[in-house]
Amino acid sequence: MSAILPQLQAKADTVMADLTRLGEIKAAALEQQGRLEANLAILEEEQLRIGTLIAARKQSEARATAELAGQEAEAEALAARATSLKQLIDELTRRAAAVATAAEATANANVGRTVPALDQETIRIALANVERREPAVPFAQARGFLAMPTSGVTVIDYGAGDGFGGISRGLSVVTRAEAQVVAPADGWVLYKGNYLNYGQIVILNAGQDYTILLAGLERVDVDIGQFVMLGEPVGTMGSQTIGRAVATSAGVSRPTLYIEMRKNNEPVDPTGWWAPPATPTQSG
């Protein structure tokens, strides 16, 4: 019997050790299960949060799309009623409050009237900021810095005969087919779309009661209320004259962009507003 007891004790100790290990394993497993369940709860909560954000974003996008469609429909209705550019711009300006971005932007831009005169280098630095969401400088101080909206040949100047028995209140520039058209200045899109015999047009609110008309485009790539920077693409020309025909010296109608600048909705001479053309660098 005395010989058996040690063996039984050893087996009992082994069993107890195994039971202890099993207990530890079970405790570790329960702890791990608890962590997994906690992580699963966090994951489900995060998935719910992401789902809620996605749904909210879709609703916001749907509202924005509906608002934009409403703004464009309203602008098109105004354009259909307006019998002249002056009337159209007057109506759009009065209704600009319906386009929140443009209305707020107009107020911000008009504050610029009280800004002291800026030196040339300061203006260049301001215009180099590609992150801006409002005009780099008050429009009146951008004189001499505006970008010609497209490359081409000016066939009719401001104040010259327009070829239809009247006096031109803007510039007519013959371009190559499908030429790109850019914003001549910082501003907000007051109107875009087809109008009378002008083809596709863009009207920019440049602030300080200035507006700029670009007419004769085939395609417009901006939206009403959108802020565009000087030099930013706004559309393209077609392969032939759209809207008001302008005959070149060769007598052939070609894509022609009409550019008109207005102050208080009255045409002004754009001479002196454009930046000088870049001078080619000579080597050797």
Same domain, 162 and 216: yes
Q: Any idea which of 50-54, 132-136, 153-157 has the lowest mean pLDDT?
A: 50-54
Q: Is 277 part of a structural domain of the chain?
A: no
**Total of domains in the chain:** 2
pLDDT digit string, tens, across residues 231-262:
999 999 988 776 665 544 444 578 999 999 99
Q: Is 209 part of a structural domain of the chain?
A: yes
Q: 26-51 b/e with 16+ CB inside 10 Å = b?
A: eeeeeeeeeeeeeeeeeeeeeeeeee
Same domain, 52 and 170: no
Same domain, 94 and 206: yes
| Boundary (domain end) residue, out of 21, 44, 69 | 69
pLDDT exceeds cutoff 80 at 63 = no
Same domain, 26 and 98: no
- Give the integer Cα–Cα distance in Å for 163 and 181: 24
**Domain containing residue 211:** 85-268
Name the residue type at position 73: A
Q: In which element (H, E) is residue 101 found?
A: helix 100-110
Locus of tokens 């069993």: 15
pLDDT digit string, tens, across residues 121-143:
888 888 999 889 899 999 999 99
Same domain, 18 and 147: no
Q: Is 284 part of a structural domain of the chain?
A: no
Q: How confident is the model at residue 108 (pLDDT cuts 50, 70, 90)?
A: low
> Which residues have CB under 8 Å from 218's CB, separation 6+?
178, 199, 200, 235, 236, 237, 238, 239, 242, 255
C-alpha of 228 from chain center: 6
- Given a contact cutoff of 8 angstroms between Cβ atoms, the answer to whether 213 and 262 are in contact is yes
Going through the chain in order, the beta strands assigned E by DSSP cover 153-156, 171-174, 180-182, 187-194, 200-207, 210-217, 219-220, 227-228, 233-236, 256-263, 266-268
Read off the CATH number of the domain in which 258 is found: 2.70.70.10
pLDDT exceeds cutoff 70 at 284 = no
Same domain, 177 and 244: yes
> What sign for the dihedral angle of Cα 157, 163, 168, 174?
negative
Kindly report the average pLDDT of the chain as a whole number.
80
